[in-house]
Amino acid sequence: MEATREIYWNVGHGVLVPMYLLALAALGVMAYGFARRLKVYRLGRPLVRTDNLSARIAAALRSSIMQTRVLRVRAPGGVHSLFFWSFLMLFAGTVLVFVQADIAAPLFDKRFLSGNFYRYFSLVLDLAGLLALVMLGALFVRRYLMRPGGLESDRDDAIMHGLLFAIVLSGFIIEGLRMAATELPAGSALANWSPVGLTVAKLFSAASEPSLRMWHAVAWWGHLTLTLGFIVAIPFTKLRHLFAVPANYLLADRGPKGCLSTLDLEDESVESFGAAALGDLSWKDIFDTDACIECKRCQDRCPAHRTEKPLSPMRLVDDLHRVAFADPQQGLAEAAGKDALWSCTTCRACQEICPASVEHVGKIVEMRRNLVLMEGEFPGEEVTAAIDNVEVNGNPLGMAFAARGDWARELGVKTLDEDPDVDVLYFVGCYASFDKRNIRVAKSLIEICRHAGVRIGILGQEEKCCGEPVRKMGNEYLYQMSAAGNIETIKAYGIERVVTSCPHCFNTLNKDYRDLGFDAEVEHYTAFLDRLLREGRLKLKPESFSATYHDSCYLGRYNDLYEAPRNLLGAAGASLREMDASGAESFCCGAGGGRILAEEKLGRRISKERARMAGETGADTLVSNCPFCLTMFEDGVKGASLEEGLSTVDLSEIIASRLTN
Amino acid sequence: MKILVCLKQIPDMESKFRINEEGIWYDEANLAWRINEYDEYAVEQAVQVKEQLGGAEVVALSLGPARVKEAIKKALAMGCDRGVHINDEEGWRRDPFEIASLIAGYAKEEGFDLVFTGMQSQDRGSAQVGVLLAGMLGLPAMTTVVDFALEDGAVRVKRELEGGMKACVKCNLPAVVTCQLGLNTPRYPTLPNIMKAKRKEMQTIEAADLAAAGSRLVTDRLAFPEKKGGGLVLEGEAADLAGKLATILRDKIKVL
Amino acid sequence: MKILLVGEYREGQLQGCTCELLGFARQMKAEPVMFLVGDAADLPAFDGRLYLAEAGRYGEFSPEVHQQLVLEVVEKESPDLVVLSHSSYGWDLAPRLAAALEAAQISEAVAVADGAFEVPACNAKLRRTVRPATARGVVTLQAGAFDPAPAGGTPEVQTVDSAVEAAGAVEFLGYEAAEQAGVDLGKAEVIVSAGRGIGKPENIGMIADLAKALGGEYGASRPVVDAGWADHDRQVGSTGQTVAPRLYMACGISGAVQHLMGMKKSDFIVAVNSDRDAPIGEVADVLVVADLKEFVPAFMTTIQG
């Protein structure tokens, strides 16, 4: 007998018209559902995310099919991926059936679903279906029996689980009933190529053929109904993520990571800056809220959430979703909660891990921008004072601007004003210029550069705050003024290369400043020194010590700079004991997002939490690469009572102590 | 209702001061300038009165060289309606009586109902201009105000006295009020207000065109105070210092 | 040189600064003549003339009325210098007198020599030497800058009976006490105070612990109280409490005049400040130049060890 099965066996070709009509109707309802949602997306401001379309499509296909972002969290990600691939297979199978039944056969008299192809086709689909069922079972167990903390389940989840399970199961029931009627009695060899179907068929072996046929028809229509129900449910439930997530991959931000939008503050036609109401968000922001599948991966990694502050990135997206789809008149800051908004450290852990490519950080900064620029509101008087200090003296610490270069006097470092002929400009930053602990970092860097024969100069009192913390707090105006000043000064000296010891300065000069016309090359000292090391211009004599290395948010997640600092540490003789949360999973020190300017009044101290993680490695040195991290850890280590066994050091200080000829 | 706020631009107090060539005032180079802290409270209170009344004209005035316009602009950004700059290249030379007379020279014709000033400036700290100005304008003055209320054409204030005590005082409009720290929380200007401030009217009057009184004070010199403390200065490592101080306290004053 | 002193009386009591005025007159070797709106039951003890205006009649605070009364005495006595305390009463009244007398006013004098007065400038970082260019001068004295004269003697009292109206445009309505929350720093033998140099509110604990370890109380400077890091009842200074314990340790306090006024009479003053030039060094017996965040824990360890 030929290895094939009759399409529309038992139900007859008469089902074609009603089936396609119903399918069309279902698709129509689905389209209508999406159209209604499209209307809500359109309430947002315009934004171009369709440039480089072919690259975007390729990236979206790759991410969707390979499930790359889903797999970032191995266990549940793996289960979802396997389910996804098996469902994809089943879908492909249905498409092939459709192609043969409605195109190839009637028009070209071609039947490819036969022979060996059909045997393998049957086997693969059967196994795929079984895998899908098993994975569904695992997902069900995780969500409803294991109940991971923070994972909330609602009507949509129940619908998804129920519908998918019923669809796959009913598929096997149809197969089983049919095989029981057509292949079991005949002892068909083909049956072995559908092992699951065969097993199910055996359950029905006792029934009579008319009975089997009746139930088969019922099951067939039931399966069709469930499937059409599935299609209809897509836009109205979380099932929309089938479209929304790949779409979000397509529409992702391809710009430099962590670069905020530069507002045109001179634009007279703009009445309001930042995001106060739904219409102030971009359409992409609103679309993000629909793409969120509430997997809580962002929440799990959020340093604010982990220390009991009112911020959860997932909740925030959910709050915005509610405003968009249920209460569009509500103010955004009121919906999200101001304490939640101010708690963000812009560490990007949420955005990095999000499998749906939701962009959390930009929304928070936009809402902050509105509070600051339009309401003059800050999270506390100490922040207002720090902002005032940046305005008056060019640094948040309130130190006299004229004293900014004083730390360098005794080292004989020249300012560009005294001698503009340098290899590279060292943009020192506020903390390394004025804070006692961080001045040691600046001095270390100078020592290292001198040793390596690099002619380095500083701006001294001509340098102003890079503007990053005030920008992240929402004060776009002060940031632009501060930045413009720095850019003009640096350009006037004809500087082409800049090195910084602060990842915030680095990120800002290297990305944010580009929008304002800055084009010098910028490097963070870790990349700079790593290069000198590899070129042989930096010679180190290793001295062994145990260390744990903290990947700062602005060097790590923002700039993917993980290797260079570790090379340097290795060359210095460190035996590295990594924290569990390291690399892209690193846990913030708590000072980002302008929070270095603010007091931490809510929840537990983020720096203490991170210090504890460092302590757990058993290393005796906590190495960081950022003045904010260093400042936070000095406090955090003491706060966690670890100062006996754990010293806090900047990487530059270690390098400086290992210099050799 | 017409309100006048007098403010002074002073150097940030964290600056490293140097004595000028003449030896009688600080060198103005390399200083960061800001509004006198006491005057910030004055500006804020004036704007709050304007908001309370649902409308009033608030004039922000300052005396000094061109740079003081930045301070006036900040007051405009906080909500004042227009600025008056009494231009005086060497405003620092004027003593309080001269300054008050220059301001009075301008304000006399304007018919202000309420005048706010800071109670003193952070650089010179004479605490005179407000009260002198009131006298010249023939208005009652209430100083050192930490609480302010305007009701039915009368002003009720609380003056801050020594030892945490307050005195409740009242007078009718028109009046002059000098503000103490803590009177209110000066607002941070919103961006639209900063932008609007750039276009608000700024009138410049040459000090020479206003009849000023002659100076009444002579400054002999400005200098850093001599370290006559006679105290012991200890420097070094924290642990050593701790030991030294403990010994001193034990021996000298029998504490410990 | 003839000097007219304007004494202070408030809440039914003669104010302590009045004795400092007498001390100033003594230093100037001038015959003390004083005007006081006060009460015969509470007079300063000195040998000299006292023009007494009854507070019950003319009001404890009534600037325009007091101004008139002083001017009447000036008519009679023709002093070269009218001297007040640089207090909430003095700095309110002095400019009015100076204007009426067409005299120069010198505010907050801390020293006098050869007719020139030294006054602080720029948060006490600098000192200015000024002198009146007018025949007469009005001077206000920084509280605590001049030692009070030793009490002794009986003034020759002349009761002031003036035709001036007993009410001015500025009307005094009454006093309001600060909410006293219970800590009387005046009773403490040892006070350790926190200034802005502590950096953040969490570090108050370090200061409070040290105070306790030394058997005393912790205090705070005005900026720290204004920032909400300590309650008002901990504030030491002209607008807080004035204290004179056996040991006063000022941590991270720069030494603004208002704070110094509240503690400079302490028996022994230790200042911990990373700035060698901080004005607190003027009054400190020992200045520890260090970061208090390093020193205080080290000191705690030393005294507890």
Residue C258, domain member (yes or no): yes
Q: Does residue C99 sit in the same domain as residue C30?
A: yes
- What value does the mean pLDDT take over residues B152-168? 92
CB–CB of C227 and A436 under 8 A?
no
One-letter amino acid for residue A5 of the chain: R
Tokens of A369: 């921008």
Interface chains of chain C (3 or more CB pairs under 8 Å): A, B
Sign of CA dihedral B246, B247, B251, B252: negative
Radius of gyration of chain C (CA): 21
- Domain end (from C124, C159, C194): C159
The rounded distance, in Å, linking the Cα atoms of A440 and A154 is 54
The rounded distance, in Å, linking the Cα atoms of B34 and B36 is 6
Q: What residues of chain C lie within 8 A of the CB of A382, using their CB?
A: 227
Tokens of B215: 């100076």
Q: Does residue C147 sit in the same domain as residue C231?
A: no
In tens, the pLDDT along B107-151 reads 999 999 999 999 999 999 999 999 999 999 999 999 999 999 999
The rounded distance, in Å, linking the Cα atoms of A426 and A296 is 41
One-letter amino acid for residue A412 of the chain: G
Residue C116, domain member (yes or no): yes
Torsion angle defined by CA atoms of residues A288, A294, A300 and A301, in that order, rounded to the nearest 10 degrees: -10
At C168 the pLDDT is 86
Residue C101, domain member (yes or no): yes
One-letter amino acid for residue C110 of the chain: V
By the CB < 8 Å criterion, does B253 face chain C? yes
In tens, the pLDDT along C82-114 reads 999 999 999 999 999 999 999 999 999 999 998
Residue C195, domain member (yes or no): yes
- Residue pair A428/A467 in contact by the 8 Å Cβ criterion: no
Residue B226, domain member (yes or no): no
CB–CB of C227 and A382 under 8 A?
yes
Q: Where are the alpha helices (DSSP H) in A452-498?
A: 468-473, 476-492
- Domain end (from C125, C141, C159): C159
CB–CB of B16 and A403 under 8 A?
yes
Sign of CA dihedral A89, A90, A91, A96: positive
Residue B253, domain member (yes or no): no
Residue A205's CB is within 10 A of a number of other CB atoms, namely 12
Q: Does residue C9 sit in the same domain as residue C155?
A: yes
Residue B91, domain member (yes or no): yes
Residue B95, domain member (yes or no): yes
Residue C167, domain member (yes or no): no
A281 vs chain B: nearest CA distance in angstroms?
Answer: 19
Please give the span between the terminal C-alpha atoms of chain C, in angstroms, as a whole number.
59
DSSP A569-615: HHHHTEEE---SS-GGGPPP-S-TTTGGGS---SSS-HHHHHHHHHH
Q: Does residue C153 sit in the same domain as residue C192?
A: no
Residue C67, domain member (yes or no): yes
Block residue for tokens 């570790």: A566
Q: What are the average pLDDT values for consecutive 10-residue runs of chain A, which has 661 residues? A: 82 89 96 97 96 96 97 96 96 92 88 90 95 96 95 94 96 94 86 92 91 94 96 96 97 92 89 95 97 96 97 98 97 97 98 97 98 96 92 94 95 94 97 92 97 96 98 98 98 97 98 96 97 95 96 97 97 96 97 93 94 96 97 88 92 96 81
Q: What residues of chain B lie within 8 A of the CB of A273, using their CB?
A: 191
Tokens of A410: 């005794």
Long-range contact pairs involving A17-26 (C-beta distance under 8 Å, separation at least 24):
A19/A224, A22/A224, A22/A228, A23/A228, A23/A231, A25/A228, A26/A228, A26/A229, A26/A231, A26/A232
Q: Does residue C139 sit in the same domain as residue C101?
A: yes
Q: Does residue C80 sit in the same domain as residue C189?
A: no
C278 vs chain A: nearest CA distance in angstroms?
Answer: 15
Q: Which of C171, C174, C289 sits opposite B234 (nearest CB)?
A: C289
Interface test mutation site (partner C, options B97, B128, B160, B173, max chain C beta carbons within 10 A): B128
Residue C143, domain member (yes or no): yes
Task: Identify the CATH number of the domain in which residue C218 sits.
Answer: 3.40.50.1220
At A85 the pLDDT is 97
Domain that holds residue C189: 185-303
Give residues with Cβ within 8 angstroms of A8, minimum separation 6: A15, A16, A101
Q: How many domains does chain C have?
A: 2
Residue B216, domain member (yes or no): no
The rounded distance, in Å, linking the Cα atoms of A3 and A26 is 33
Q: Does residue C192 sit in the same domain as residue C152?
A: no
Q: Does residue C145 sit in the same domain as residue C249?
A: no
What DSSP state is assigned to residue A30? H
Please give the span between the terminal C-alpha atoms of chain B, in angstroms, as a whole number.
63
Residue of B220, B227, B91, B112 lying closest to B173 (CA atoms): B112
- What value does the mean pLDDT take over residues B61-90? 97
Q: Chain C neighbours among B 148-187 (CB < 8 Å)?
A: 156, 158-172, 175, 181-182
What percentage of chain B reaches a pLDDT higher than 90?
85
Say whether A617 sits in a helix, a strand or coil: coil
- Domain end (from C122, C142, C159): C159
Residue C166, domain member (yes or no): no
- Residue pair A637/A643 in contact by the 8 Å Cβ criterion: yes
A407 vs chain C: nearest CA distance in angstroms?
Answer: 15
In tens, the pLDDT along C165-205 reads 767 899 999 999 877 667 888 889 999 999 988 988 889 99
Domains of chain A (ranges; CATH) run 13-250 (1.20.950), 278-374 (1.10.1060.10), 394-533 (3.40.50.1860), 537-657 (3.40.50)
Q: How many domains does chain B have?
A: 1
- Nearest residue of B to residue C254 by CA position? B14
Helix, strand, coil percent values for chain B (each to nearest 5): 30, 30, 35
By the CB < 8 Å criterion, does B190 face chain C? no
Residue of C136, C81, C74, C133 lying closest to C109 (CA atoms): C81
Tokens of B198: 């750039």
Helix and strand numbers (H, E) in chain B are 6, 13
Long-range contact pairs involving A645-648 (C-beta distance under 8 Å, separation at least 24):
A645/A615, A645/A620, A646/A611, A646/A614, A646/A615, A646/A619, A646/A620, A646/A621, A646/A622, A647/A620, A647/A621, A647/A622, A648/A621, A648/A622, A648/A624
Q: What residues of chain B lie within 8 A of the CB of C182, using their CB?
A: none
- Nearest residue of A to residue B196 by CA position? A268
By the CB < 8 Å criterion, does C200 face chain A? yes
Task: Identify the CATH number of the domain in which residue C113 sits.
Answer: 3.40.50.620
At residue A30, what are phi and psi to the nearest 5 degrees? -60, -45
Q: What residues of chain A lie within 8 A of the CB of B185, using their CB?
A: 381
- Residue pair B194/A477 in contact by the 8 Å Cβ criterion: yes
Q: Does residue C50 sit in the same domain as residue C155?
A: yes
One-letter amino acid for residue C105 of the chain: Q
Sheet containing strand B175-179, edge to edge, reads B202-206, B82-87, B57-64, B2-6, B114-118, B175-179, B141-151, B154-160, B166-172, C171-176
At A577 the pLDDT is 97
Domain that holds residue B7: 2-209
- Nearest residue of B to residue C234 by CA position? B164
One-letter amino acid for residue B125 of the chain: G
CB–CB of B245 and C61 under 8 A?
no
Task: Identify the CATH number of the domain in which residue B63 sits.
Answer: 3.40.50.620
Interface test mutation site (partner A, options C202, C206, C226, C229, max chain A beta carbons within 10 A): C202
Please give the span between the terminal C-alpha atoms of chain A, in angstroms, as a whole number.
84
What percentage of chain C reaches a pLDDT higher than 70?
99
What DSSP state is assigned to residue B224? P
- Residue pair B26/B135 in contact by the 8 Å Cβ criterion: no
CB–CB of A400 and B14 under 8 A?
yes
Measured CA distances, B6 to B60, B80, B103, B130 (Å): 6, 11, 8, 9
Select the more confidently predicted residue: C138 or A98. Answer: C138
Interface test mutation site (partner B, options C106, C130, C225, C246, max chain B beta carbons within 10 A): C130
Tokens of A150: 């923070």
Q: Does residue C295 sit in the same domain as residue C147?
A: no
Q: Does residue C193 sit in the same domain as residue C154?
A: no
Residue B121, domain member (yes or no): yes
Residue of A470, A45, A468 lying closest to A275 (CA atoms): A45
A484 vs chain B: nearest CA distance in angstroms?
Answer: 17
Look at residue B181 and tell me whether its pLDDT is greater than 80. yes
Q: What residues of chain B lie within 8 A of the CB of C127, using their CB?
A: 222-225
- Residue pair A583/A551 in contact by the 8 Å Cβ criterion: yes
At C123 the pLDDT is 84
Interface chains of chain A (3 or more CB pairs under 8 Å): B, C
Q: Does residue C8 sit in the same domain as residue C152?
A: yes
Q: What kind and span of H or E run contains B63?
A: strand B57-64
CB–CB of C247 and B255 under 8 A?
yes
Q: What residues of chain B lie within 8 A of the CB of C206, using their CB?
A: none
Give residues with Cβ within 8 angstroms of A248, minimum separation 6: A287, A288, A291, A356, A357, A358
CB–CB of C105 and B144 under 8 A?
no
Residue C168's CB is within 10 A of a number of other CB atoms, namely 18
By the CB < 8 Å criterion, does B122 face chain C? yes
At residue A473, what are phi and psi to the nearest 5 degrees? -75, -15
One-letter amino acid for residue A127 of the chain: L
Residue A349's CB is within 10 A of a number of other CB atoms, namely 30
Look at residue C53 and tell me whether its pLDDT is greater than 80. yes
